[in-house]
Amino acid sequence: MNFLGNILYDSVYHATPILLCVLGGIFAYKANVLNIALEGMMLAGAFVSMLVSYLTGNIALGYLAAIAVCLLIGLIFSFMTVTYKGNVIVVGLAINMVVPAIAGFVLQYMESANIRLTWKDVSDFKIHIPVIDKIPILGDILSGHTPITYLSFIGIFFIWLLMYRTKFGIYVRVVGENEDAARNLGLNTNKYRYLAILLGAFCCSLAGINLALERMVLFTNNMTAGRGFIAIAAIYCGQGDPVSSALYAIVFGAARALAVNMGLYAGPAAALFDVIPYVVMGIVLTIVSMLKYRNQKVRGFH
């Protein structure tokens, strides 16, 4: 592939973990719970999927264990913030710090800087779509990705359906917008907040699996590199709408792809391009905040 083709392919590649966190996190956002723990949940998914696969030699067990552990973390987060009304920022940051600490301890116990599956190759996870694979340029961009990558983009439509075309989505939004009205309707507000957070935990587990197991068959500590916080920024920019938030996630993924591909030609200065995704995120957040402020002023004037 040429330079542009590489960027387009890598945009899909790098957007996937962010997109999964966004699709899961928007329900907590709509339920008026800011899930700061997306980063820690994703790292837990990456770590557990690799550790269990490494110890058992079974990829399926790695998938299941990662999902189970992330759901457990989601329950802990829900219990402390929803049931006992703990500060979501404090609890979320605690999870984000505890997970890499546990991963670091295990790696040190194993006397290794990383976990690598020597008996599995990245190409084993890639799916080449027969018809699309033959199309020039388009085939190189859309074919050859992992199962969870395709699932994440298909998931945009299903999450939109869940958000706007099901009772669950409607009730979650009612709980977030007006808790008293939700209670008057007889809704168990805590139950819907729990479910919203657990859905986010499930999606974060898939993001972690995709990041470590499917894409690299390798785990290194802190490999999420702030993707969970980028997902929170995408959710904020898209105001919790599945399609809008997903588009912002793809934009941030494209910025990461641009940074990586430009870094390949930059030699010693390659590290400078690592800031591109964060600069793009800062610019986008600033523009979105300005537009929101202007719209509020216009509404207030009228």
Q: How confident is the model at residue 299 (pLDDT cuts 50, 70, 90)?
A: low
| CA nearest neighbour of 81 among 36, 25, 20, 30 | 36
What predicted TM-score, i.e. pTM, was given to this entire model? 0.91
The average confidence (pLDDT) of the chain is 89
Structure tokens at 111: 């006397």
Q: How confident is the model at residue 265 (pLDDT cuts 50, 70, 90)?
A: confident
Mean pLDDT, to the nearest integer, of 223-250? 92
pLDDT at 301: 56
DSSP secondary structure of 151-220: HHHHHHHHHHHHHHSSHHHHHHHHHHH-HHHHHHTT--HHHHHHHHHHHHHHHHHHHHHIIIIITTSEEE
pLDDT at 120: 82
Helix (H, G, I), strand (E, B) or coil at 301: helix
Domains assigned to the chain: 3-297 (1.10.3470)
Residue 298 has pLDDT above 70, yes or no: no
pLDDT at 129: 81
Residue 253 has pLDDT above 60, yes or no: yes
Mean pLDDT, to the nearest integer, of 268-291? 79
pLDDT at 145: 87
Least confident of 38-42, 204-208, 284-288: 284-288
The CA-atom distances, in angstroms, between 300 and each of 286, 287, 295 are: 21, 20, 8
Mean pLDDT, to the nearest integer, of 138-144? 79
pLDDT at 270: 65
pLDDT digits (tens, 9 = 90+) for 159-203: 999 999 999 999 999 999 998 889 988 899 999 999 999 999 999
Residue 266 has pLDDT above 70, yes or no: no
Q: How confident is the model at residue 246 (pLDDT cuts 50, 70, 90)?
A: very high
Q: How confident is the model at residue 1 (pLDDT cuts 50, 70, 90)?
A: low
Q: How confident is the model at residue 258 (pLDDT cuts 50, 70, 90)?
A: confident
pLDDT at 280: 84
Helix (H, G, I), strand (E, B) or coil at 255: helix
Cα dihedral 133/126/64/59 (nearest 10): 140
pLDDT at 196: 96
Contacts of residue 159, defined as CB under 8 A and 6 or more positions apart, other chains included, come to: 23, 26, 242
